[in-house]
Chain A
Amino acid sequence: MTLTGVSVRRRGRSILGPLDASLNGGGLSILMGPNGAGKTTLLRALHGLERVSTGDIHWTDPKDAEGRNQGFVFQTPVLMRRSVLDCIAYPLQLDGVKRAEAREQARARANEVGLNVNLDQAVMFLSGGEKQKMALARALMRRPRILFLDEPCANLDGRSVKEIEEILLRIKDGGTRILMSTHDLGQARRLADSVLFLHAGKLVEQAIGDDFFRAPQTAEAKAYLKGEILL
C-alpha cells in the first residue's frame, strides 16, 4: 500500500500526519513510537475505522482494500456477550454462514491459535491472554489477507506474550501480511521484518527491522531505542 499525504484531524487538532509511506511485500511490520505518536490512529485509518482528513491510501491490490479481507485485533479485546465459540464464529454469521457451520469453523480457528478452553463458557471468564487469543481467532475467521494488531500483548504476562508471538509468526508464514503496533522493544526486535517509527504524528523513520535496531538513522529513533523519553 502507498500512503500519500495522509493526515487525521480531530476537532481541528492534528492527530496524525501528513505522512507518506510505502509498504510493499509480505511479512510483519511493526509500528513503533512513544505514546501519542499516532500508531493506533494510523492502524485505524488504514482499516477504515478512522476518517482520513487529507491524503490518499492506495492499495496495490484492490482486494486488500476490501474490509472483509482485513482483520483487526484491538488492544482491549471486544468481548461480546456470547460464548467463546459464538464470539469467534460471529464474522461468519454476518456472512450468512449457518450457525452450526460457523461454530465448526470457529472451533478449528480456536484450535489454530491454541485456545484450549471450554469454548461454551462466556467469554468474560477467560484470562487476559485467552481473551486476546479469542480476538485473534475471530479476526482470522474470514482468512484476512492483511491483519492489523494494536498492541495485542499490552498487559499480558510473559507466557501469553510468547504464545501470541508464536501464533503471529505462524500466521505470517501462512502468507498473511501483518501490521502491528507495540511499545515492547524486545517484541519488536523478535518479530519485525520492517519498522515504521512514528513520533508526534509523523513518520520519522522506516527501515528493515534488523537495520533499524542496529543503526537507527534519526535522532528520535536513536533516543527511543536508548530508552530516553521523547517529548
Chain B
Amino acid sequence: MDNESVMENKHTEHIHRDDVGSKMGMWLFLFTELILFGGMFILYAGYRFMYADSFRVAAMRLDTVVGTVNTILLLTSSLTAVLSLAAIQKKQKLFSMYLLVFTIVCGGAFLINKYFEWSTKIHHGFYPRGPEMADLPDGEVVFYGLYYVMTGLHALHVIVGMVFLTFMLVFVYKEKITFDNSQKLENAGLYWHLVDIIWIFLFPLFYLIH
C-alpha cells in the first residue's frame, strides 16, 4: 500500500518501508469487508429466524452440486495464492507466476459457474419482480433477495480480487515483488483468502438447508 516512499527513496541509502504497517492497513480494510458482509449476515439470521420454513423450501431450488464445485474451486485458489507467496519467498519466480495464473483462472471458473447458476434461476423466473416471484410466500421472496444480494456482492469481490492478483502477476514479472519485498503479494493474498472465508459461510447458509 505505502509503496510511495519506497519509490521515492529508491536511490537513497536508507529505504523506509514498513511491511508490518502495510499489512496492518490491509487487515483493517479486511475488517470493514467482514462487517459489510456481517450486516448481510445479521439480516440473513433475522429473516431465517422469522421465515424458517420458507427458507428451507426456497433453498431446495438451489443446486448443491454447483455450490460444492464452487467451494472447492475457491479453496484450491486460496491454496495456490498462498503457495505463490511461498514460492516468491523461495526465489522461484516462474513457479510463483504459474501459481498466480492458476489462482486467477480458478476465480474465473467460479464466476462462470455463478453466471450459469444465476441465468438458470432467472430463466425460470426467480428474480426480483420476476413472473414466479409474485406467487411465492413472503419468506421465499426475502430468501431470493438475500441470495442475489449476498452472492452478487461476493462475486463482485471475486472480480476485484482477480484484478488485484493480475496486478501482482505483473509486479512479479517486472520484479517489483521479489523474495525480500513481497508484502504487496501477501496483502493481495489476504484479500483473496477473506473472499474465500466469506464463501465458506455463504455456502452452507444458502445451499445446505434441507
Co-assembled chains A and B: no
Interface residues of B (CB under 8 A from A): none
Interface residues of A (CB under 8 A from B): none
